[in-house]
Structure 1
Amino acid sequence: MKVAISVPDPVFQAAEQFAKERGIPRSQLFAEALEEYLAQHGPEAITAQLNRVHDSEKSKLDESFIRAQSAVLKDEAW
């Protein structure tokens, strides 16, 4: 599909040079860049980033907090 977009001159010039150096059409560069951007910012990517953060951080609760929470919850009617 053809799309008309506006980009700042410096971005266009950098993209033009980048595509030329790699021997690919400018439209292919823009399509690949958009595809990569969507992959990095879509819901799956956000979930993956959150999983990496949670995998690297300790998530164990402090024992005193667990006891306090349990004490409060024992009086609750479920």
Structure 2
Amino acid sequence: MYLYPGCERLDLTHYDGYTIGMKTAVSIPDGVFEKAERFARRMKKSRSELYSRALSEYLARHAPDHVTEAMDQVCAELGAEPDAFVSTASRRVLERSEW
């Protein structure tokens, strides 16, 4: 078994390809490609790993439902009980703030 970042465990005994994951072709501007190549070499990462991580980060930043779900989970774990100290401190800060 092999654990690939972001994927379930894969059983490689039934794997016929030479790469793990989906292969795809994309077109990007030459300048972006050249910068990515330099960055990948400097970071000692493969082009595939660089693009995969970049796309994963982009999706995480632009998936509002995922962010909302994560924040909802944190709020649920913290509970809905008001914290007296936080409430008092917040009120004092707001009272001193110019609106």
Q: Which runs of 5+ in 2 are unaligned?
A: 1-21, 70-99
Map 1:1-78 → 2, pairs under 5 A? 1-42=22-63, 43-45=65-67, 47=68
Q: Percent identity?
A: 49
RMSD of aligned Cα (Å): 2.2
CA distance in 2, matches of 1:27, 1:7: 14
Deviation string for 1:31-63 (max 9, x for gaps)? 000000000000223x38xxxxxxxxxxxxxxx
Return the index of the structure with the highest Cα Rg.
1
Greater RCO, 1 or 2 (C-alpha within 8 Å, sep 6+): 1
| TM-score, structure 1 normalization | 0.57
Q: Which runs of 5+ in 1 are unaligned?
A: 49-78
Q: What amino acid maps onto 2:40 in structure 1?
A: A
Q: What amino acid maps onto 2:52 in structure 1?
A: A
CA distance in 2, matches of 1:12, 1:28: 14
Q: What amino acid maps onto 1:9 in structure 2?
A: D
Number of aligned residues: 50
Higher share in strand: 2
| TM-score, structure 2 normalization | 0.45
